[in-house]
């Protein structure tokens, strides 16, 4: 299948947010709607290019997310390809078999809270 922006119809996923956890040992996933920041991007096409395992597909409600199976050894390379190489806004990599083992390219709320506490402590010095 020739994957194009028209094939993806990103707009259909505009209200969808989040990526469901997958039951695979290792994977990386991205949302089809990239927050509207760069609608010329083709998230699924980028995932296909970065996915060396050739095991990828759409998933989730309304197929608004896409994943690639990885290995423990290839997961960080896959994440780098998706985030640095193609600048996708939301990428999650993790292990569906172990809760709490996901990593994301977006800073977490905890990161911001720690930063605020540190900065407010420094300002009072």
Specify whether the CB–CB gap between 94 and 30 falls below 8 A.
no
Q: What is the largest CA-CA distance in the chain?
A: 60
**Least confident stretch, 11-15, 36-40, 87-91, 96-100:** 96-100
* pLDDT for the residue numbered 23: 82
pTM of the model: 0.64
Mean pLDDT for all residues in the chain: 74
Q: What is the rounded average pLDDT of the residues 84-113?
A: 62
Specify whether the CB–CB gap between 56 and 66 falls below 8 A.
yes
**Least confident stretch, 15-24, 37-46, 47-56:** 37-46
How far apart CA 121 and CA 99 sit, in angstroms, is 33
pLDDT tens digits along 52-84:
899 999 988 788 889 999 998 899 999 999 888
């Amino acid at each position: 299948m020739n994957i194009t922006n028209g094939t993806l119809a990103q707009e259909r996923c505009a209200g969808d947010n989040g990526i469901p956890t997958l039951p695979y040992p290792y994977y990386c996933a991205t949302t089809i709607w990239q927050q509207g920041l760069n609608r010329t991007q083709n998230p699924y096409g980028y995932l296909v290019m970065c996915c060396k395992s050739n095991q990828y597909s759409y998933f989730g409600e309304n197929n608004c997310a896409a994943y690639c199976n990885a290995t423990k050894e290839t997961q960080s390379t896959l994440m780098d390809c998706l985030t640095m190489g193609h600048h996708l806004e939301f990428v999650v990599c993790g292990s569906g078999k172990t809760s709490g083992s996901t990593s994301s390219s977006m800073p977490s709320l905890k990161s911001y809270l720690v930063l605020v506490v540190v900065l407010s402590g420094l300002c009072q010095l």
